[in-house]
Amino acid sequence: MPNSHSSASEVPLAALRAFVAAGRHKNFTRAAAALGVTQGVVSRHVAALERLGSVRLFERRGAHALLTPAGAQLYDAVHEAFAAIEIASRQLAQRRERSDRLAVRTSMPTLALTVLMPSLPAFTEKHGVQVDLVTSLVPVEPQDEFDVLVTRDLELSGAESWDLAAEKLVCVASPAQAKTWAERAAHRWPMLSARSRPEILATWARANDIPPEKLDIKAVDEHLYLSIARAIGGAGILVVPHLLVLEHLANRTLVRLPKEPVRSGARYTAFVNPRTSNMQAATTLCRWLKTLFAQRTQLPA
């Protein structure tokens, strides 16, 4: 049975797409070129929308097509949605033809921000492979789409794995905070903590013969990268994986306090997804990551 709603009231998506292109370029000819159609097609689509709403959407001034108030209202309502559709379409095409593209998933947002993101452009330049980075703390599901998993706390059964590094914890603070507290008892230090890694402070405390419940915790953030920023600002003292603060120690926005590094027992590992369609590039990336981590962990702690 036919739909009881009139098809005349349905807004054609092709017409909206042409309207958005015309609004973006402020010119029907350039909009047509961007869409790969003729100017007449764009004009007909815009005219169809104007008939549907009984309102003018553009005011023509020579070669320019300027949005009317009604056109601007419609453009503001729909252009972001069409931009999202275009991006999603490009990403879909990249998945289909990504012999030169890898999807890397990691369960460690701070490591992604401080180590992976600054370093991956060098991998792309050397090997010609673009790397898309996704962070997720949830366990891996068989249907998840990625090529390489970089993790400290997740497993990928049946996958080739690469041991990257053992984790060492160091105690850091801003230079001013370090000067203030270095000579005082550690259990009195104003400590910072992160909900994503609550265990590292307890591990460090036990290694230094300090009952964890005796620590003076001044602030708790969601992730370590937030706690690192708080420590740089002078809010307190932070126990953190050494790998994550190398640059800050080098430029002395953070300094070490006089405590020996502590091994947390955790290890950083990379897994090649057995379902990857680009096994060679994924393996090359894991080999490159192993070298990167080795170089960083050989720096003085």
Q: Report the pLDDT value the prediction gives residue 277, as an integer from 0 to 100.
A: 87
**What gap in Å lies between CA 246 and CA 241, rounded to an integer?**
9
Distance CA 116, CA 106 (A): 10
Q: What does the pLDDT read at residue 106? A: 94
Vertex 70 angle, CA 68 and 71, to 5°: 60
Portion of the chain with pLDDT greater than 90, in percent: 64
Question: What are 293's two structure tokens?
Answer: 């981590």
Has residue 9 got a pLDDT over 90? no
pLDDT over threshold 80, residue 116:
yes
Average pLDDT over the chain reads: 88
Q: Taking a C-beta distance cutoff of 8 angstroms, is the pair 255, 173 a contact?
A: yes
Amino acid at 65: A
> Which residues does 5 contact at the CB level (< 8 Å), separation at least 6?
none
Nearest to 238 by CA among 175, 203, 190: 190
Sequence-distant contacts of 116-124: CB under 8 A, at least 24 apart: 116/150, 119/292, 123/285, 123/288
In this prediction, residues 50-78 reach a mean pLDDT of 90
Architecture of domain 7-96: Orthogonal Bundle (1.10)
List where CATH 3.40.190.290 sits in the chain.
98-301
Q: Which CATH fold topology does 98-301 show?
A: D-Maltodextrin-Binding Protein; domain 2 (3.40.190)
Q: What is the pLDDT of residues 144-187, one digit of tens each?
A: 889 999 999 888 877 889 999 999 999 999 999 999 999 899 98
Judged against a pLDDT cut of 70, whether residue 94 lies above it is answered with: no
Query: Looking at the chain, which residues constitute the CATH 1.10.10.10 domain(s)?
Result: 7-96
pLDDT exceeds cutoff 70 at 2:
no
pLDDT at 4 over 60: no
